[in-house]
Amino acid sequence: MKGFKFAGIHAGIKKKDQKDLGLIYCKNPAVAAALFTRNKVIAAPVILGKKKIKKGLCQAVLVNSGNANCFTGDKGIKDAIACSKMVATSLGIPEDFVLVSSTGVIGQNLPMDKFKVGVPDIVIHLSADHADDFADAILTTDTHNKIVKKSGTIDDKKFSIMGIAKGSGMIRPDMATMLAFICTDINISAKDLKVCLSAASEKSFNRITIDGDTSTNDTLLALANGMSGVKINDTDSKKNFQDMLDKVCIELAKMVVKDGEGATKLIQIIVKGAQSKQDAFKVSETIAHSNLVKTAIYGEDPNWGRITAAAGRSGAHVVPEKMDLFFDDQPLILKGKWIGDEAEKKTAQIMKNKEITITLDLNIGKETDFFLFCDFSVDYVKINAEYRS
C-alpha cells in the first residue's frame, strides 16, 4: 500500500501481555471520511473525531484497546487531545491531522503514563509491513485480526485498498462495526469518499448484528492518499472504486460476524417479496436480532415458528398465508404451511453447516433486504460475564 505505514505494540494498557496500541501513518495528509456511532453515550475519541473530520484530512490515527475512554467527562476529552498531540509531536505533523480511537472497558480514565512512553515507542516501529501488528493491537474479545486487501485498475493504472477491522461483540447496525479503518492510494475528493464510504457501509457493516448492542465508540474511517496516481473523476471510475470498496467492507463485516463472541455459525437472512424496502429491512433486522432464533440455530433446531413469529412482530406488513421459508435451497414452509417431517429432517442437516442462508419470501411485493448474524452459544454468556475480570 503506497504511502502508508503501520505499527502495533504492547504499551501496558491491557492487563494481559498483548498488543494494545496501534498507529497508522501516511506520508502525506490523506483525504479522510468517517462514520461514527449513533449511540447518545459517545466516547471522547468520537467527540473529538467528529470535529476533526470536518477538515477532510488526516495523516495519522492512534488506536488503543483495553480502555474505551468513554463516560470519562472533560478529563476524557483532555486525554484524547493529549494523545493526539503526542502523536503529532513524535511524527512532526500538525495535531489537526491526528485522529484517535479507543475500544475496551467503559468508565475508566486512560492510563496516560502508558501513552507518554508508548507513543514515542510506537513511532519507531512504523513500517509498511506492520499492518498485522496494528490489526492485533486494536482487538478486544476478538479471537483473531481482520484484514482484507484488494487491488484494481482504472485506465490501466493499479490502485489498492486495505481494510482493517475489530469487533466481535457490542455489534448492531447503527453505523458500522466497533472500529474499521480503510486505507487506499486512490485520488478522490473528501466529498466523494464520504459518499462511497456511506454506500459501502449500508451494504456491509449496517447489515450485521451479533448481540443487538450499539457501541459507544463505533468508528469507520477511510483515508485516501492519492499516491497510486489513479484519479476518481467520472462515473465509471467512481463505480469501479465503489465496487472494490464494497467488497472490502463486506468481507470485513463477514469476518466480524464469524468472530462474534462465542459464535459457531454465520447466517444470512434474506427477506424477499416485501411491499417496501423498509418492510424488508424491518423483517430481516427483527429476525437477525431475535435471541430465540439465534439460540435455535446454535442448537441446530429448525424451529421455523421463531422465524415467522419474529417477522410478524417486526412492524412490517406480512400475510402469514403467503410466506415461503427456505434454509439454503430446502423449503420448510410454502404458502404459509409446514411441508412435513421429511423437509424438517433435511433442514436439520443443513443447520449443521457453519454457514447458512435463510430466505423468507413474503410474496406480497418486490422489495428485498438482508442481514448477516451469528448464533448465540453458552460461550457468549461466559465471555461477557467475565469481560472486566
Catalytic residue selected from 72, 177, 184, 359: 177
What is the separation, in whole angstroms, between the first and last Cα of the chain?
Answer: 38
**Is the sign of the CA dihedral 253, 228, 9, 58 positive or negative?**
negative
Task: Select from 33, 28, 79 the least CA-distant residue to 55.
Answer: 33
Q: What single-letter amino acid sits at 279? A: D
Report the DSSP pairing between strands 266-274 and 355-361.
Answer: parallel
CB contact at 8 A, 376 and 292: no
Cell numbers given for 372: 448477516
Does 177 qualify as catalytic in the annotation? yes
DSSP per-residue codes, 315-345: SS---GGG-EEEETTEEEEETTEE--HHHHH
Grid coordinates 478486544 are at which residue?
140
Q: For residues 68 and 106, what is the distance between their CA atoms, to the nearest angstrom?
A: 5
Q: For residues 194 and 114, what is the distance between their CA atoms, to the nearest angstrom?
A: 34
Report the DSSP pairing between strands 367-374 and 266-274.
Answer: antiparallel
Task: Select from 148, 146, 220 the least CA-distant residue to 181.
Answer: 220
CB contact at 8 A, 106 and 214: no
CB contact at 8 A, 19 and 136: yes
Q: Which helix (H) or strand (E) holds 132?
A: helix 131-137
Active site residues: 177
